[in-house]
Amino acid sequence: MRIQCPVCKAIVDAPTGKVNRAIKVGAPLYCGRVCAGIARRKGKSIDQRKAEKSEYDRLRRDRLGEKIKAQKRAHFKATYDPVVAAAYRKKRMPIHVEYCRRPEYRAWKSEYDREYRAKKDFGEFWESAVLLANIDTEVAKNASRYEIMMINGTINKAQRRRREYERSDR
């Protein structure tokens, strides 16, 4: 039986049973897989297609994650050449250096390093350590070391104690 593809408008022969089944179900018939795929994706926005692909990838990683990682490991082992990799890194190094000099990278890296060190040194109390460091920085911005020592009464502390001792000793 001859049908017209709704996507590419080509006239093609299709088995009668297939045509009757499509009419009964109310499904369109296409000339091949390519046109069927185009029709399936037609009418979807780019954001919608990206969301669907993202969901599909997430489910696939959940289902086949270990198998995919093993395949990637095997491929890397089979194809890795240290000489080629070193040449590639050397070629890309100036680009990487420029990237590391960008102010937004430096700000991100500074924050990352601060959190990394706090987690390493203080464990589960790392957030408190970061907060305390932020407070110290803010205090240092607003007052000099001399002013802080005057407020706390720690400036010339040894001299003051010696004089008080001498006064009390007389």
pLDDT digits (tens, 9 = 90+) for 65-78: 999 999 999 999 99
Q: Are residues 112 and 89 in the same domain?
A: yes
Q: What is the pLDDT at residue 84?
A: 97
Outline where 102-142 has alpha helix (H).
Answer: 103-122, 126-142
- Are the CB atoms for 3 and 30 separated by under 8 Å? no
Q: Are residues 115 and 69 in the same domain?
A: no
Q: Are residues 96 and 163 in the same domain?
A: yes
Work out how many domains the chain is built from and give that number. 3
* Residue linked to tokens 């037609």: 42
Q: Are residues 57 and 91 in the same domain?
A: no
Q: Are residues 68 and 36 in the same domain?
A: no
At 110-155, the pLDDT tens digits run: 999 999 999 999 999 999 999 999 999 998 899 888 888 888 888 8
CB proximity list for 106: less than 8 A, separation 6 or greater: 100
Q: Are residues 62 and 133 in the same domain?
A: no
Domain range for residue 9?
2-42
- Are the CB atoms for 99 and 105 separated by under 8 Å? yes
Q: Are residues 51 and 95 in the same domain?
A: no
Three-state DSSP class for 61?
Answer: helix
Q: Are residues 69 and 145 in the same domain?
A: no
What whole-number distance in Å separates Cα of residue 154 and Cα of residue 148?
Answer: 9
Phi/psi of residue 69, nearest 5 degrees: -60, -40
Average pLDDT over residues 48-70: 95
